[in-house]
Amino acid sequence: MTSLLNGLLRVACVCVMTVAAAAVGGCSSDTGEPTAAVDCSAQLRADGIVYTSHGYSDRQARKHASAEEAECQDVGSEAAGPVFPASPHTVTTWTFSGYPPTKVLGVRSDQDSFAVFVADSVASKEREAIYEDLAAGAP
């Protein structure tokens, strides 16, 4: 039993060290050149306004309009993050009572909830307050 535990601990240590070495060493492509990884938050664009995903809400919403969805270009030597292609995929957006569509939009994530997208132009403190309110559910 002791030798089995020692063996399992040894395997666990090797796995942890391998993962840590890969994280510290970074990534490289098949060509040996370093690649970058960029965080890709989901983004929408509607009427020239860019919105970034900011959690979920189960609050009721009203169907609004369509918006363009960004693609995630998160790997490669020139990783750009979220970008809007020439022919973007479109999604139906929803609005929440008490919030203008110039500040907040929702996109249905399932039958009972919405992904919340807040306009990038909204100050971070207000953005957090909006999300906290919408995450709380029905008023």
For residues 47 and 101, give the distance between their C-alpha atoms in angstroms, rounded to a whole number.
Answer: 10
For residues 97 and 59, give the distance between their C-alpha atoms in angstroms, rounded to a whole number.
Answer: 9
- Could you read off the pLDDT of 74-123 as tens digits, one per residue? 666 766 678 888 899 999 999 999 999 999 999 999 999 999 999 999 99
Q: What distance lies between CA 98 and its chain's CA centroid? A: 24
- Residues 6 or more apart whose CB falls under 8 angstroms from that of 76 comprise 29, 35, 36
Q: Which of the four pLDDT bands, split at 50, 70 and 90, describes residue 22?
A: very low
pLDDT at residue 97, as a whole number: 96
What is the model's pTM?
A: 0.69
Closest CA to 106 of 41, 39, 44: 44
Quick check: 3 pLDDT over 50? Answer: no
For residues 131 and 14, give the distance between their C-alpha atoms in angstroms, rounded to a whole number.
Answer: 42
